[in-house]
Amino acid sequence: MAHYVIGDVQGCYSELQALVKKIKFNPNKDKIIFAGDLVNRGHQSLEVMDFCMRHKGSIKAVLGNHDFYLLYLIEHQKKNKSLKKVLDSKNIQKYHSWLKKLPLLLEIKIKETKETFWISHAGIPYIWDIRMAKKLSKEIQTGMKDDSFKILENIWGDTPKIWNSDLKGYKRSRTIINYFTRMRFLGKDGSLKLKAKKNKADEMHVPWFNQTIKNLKENQYIIFGHWAALEGKTKLTNIIGVDTGCVWGNKLTAIRLEDRKLFQVKKA
């Protein structure tokens, strides 16, 4: 049995198929954990969703910003060209109820190596310790169960820019979701710098993981997607990026947690 975390698929089903073959995925034994952004932009989002439905029992996933977007389109009955086939599918209810229940953060413990891996789409900001991050992921998951329509309606926007435990209501849910699914650079005070797209850090903003790394012990790891321009490179051993930009013509990546071996396929 092995655990594989796969980076942003974004509707690249042919590449997912090739990768699953490469890792010799055995749904009776192995587990796949998707790091979010299963759909959108790529042309085969429907096939990716069907893959998840087919192997539900052996698949876990965290929500990415594009998955939230799909949930928004479904619940608010909006249209989108890239997601049309998914939205028009007769299985839409199945996709919806599966996606809606996904967490923002997953914890996987590997017995053999006594290592712990946390997986979230964008990462975990240093201002939250792991306990806090787990609590906030749970808070959104519970919120989505009872109040998804309103949470999704209020999800869009870059503010509040900084986390504060006193935040309430939909500002609070939006901020938590922004940290977990859209974060790249943070200010020194832990504020989100969502507009900063360039890959170079400066005095005002640094990649989130440069600060978070100080919170991790030797046998603790964070795996994240979302930041395709990094091509997975954080220069850190314990924080590993798995979005290698397949949808942008680059690669789709899986990491096997038991030995942290990487498996990659090129965009077809």
**Least distance between Mn ion and beta carbon 21 (Å):** 25
- 99: which 2 tokens? 């996606």
Helix boundaries (H) for 117-167: 130-153
Q: Is 226 in the site for Mn ion (CB under 5 A)?
A: yes
What gap in Å lies between CA 268 and CA 266, rounded to an integer?
6
Which one of the spans 39-47, 86-94, 201-209, 222-230 is the region binding Mn ion (CB under 5 A)?
222-230
Looking at 15, 37, 47, 115, which residue binds Mn ion (CB under 5 A)?
37
Q: What would the x/- binding string for Mn ion be over residues 131 to 150, using CB under 5 A?
A: --------------------
CB-nearest residue to Mn ion: 226
- 36: which 2 tokens? 């979010």
Would you tell me how many other CB atoms lie within 10 Å of the CB of residue 29? 9
**Contact at 8 Å (CB) between 42 and 13?**
yes
What gap in Å lies between CA 170 and CA 243, rounded to an integer?
29
Q: Is 10 in the site for Mn ion (CB under 5 A)?
A: no
Q: Is 65 in the site for Mn ion (CB under 5 A)?
A: yes
Mode of pairing for the β-strands spanning 31-34 and 59-61? parallel
239-241 sheet: strands from edge to edge: 105-110, 115-120, 220-224, 239-241
Which one of the spans 34-42, 108-116, 135-143, 170-178 is the region binding Mn ion (CB under 5 A)?
34-42
Q: Compare residues 4 and 224 and give the one whose CB is closer to Mn ion.
A: 224
Which one of the spans 58-66, 91-99, 186-194, 249-257 is the region binding Mn ion (CB under 5 A)?
58-66
Which one of the spans 32-40, 45-53, 152-160, 232-240 is the region binding Mn ion (CB under 5 A)?
32-40
Judged by the rule CB under 5 A, the positions of this chain that interact with Mn ion are: 37, 64-65, 226
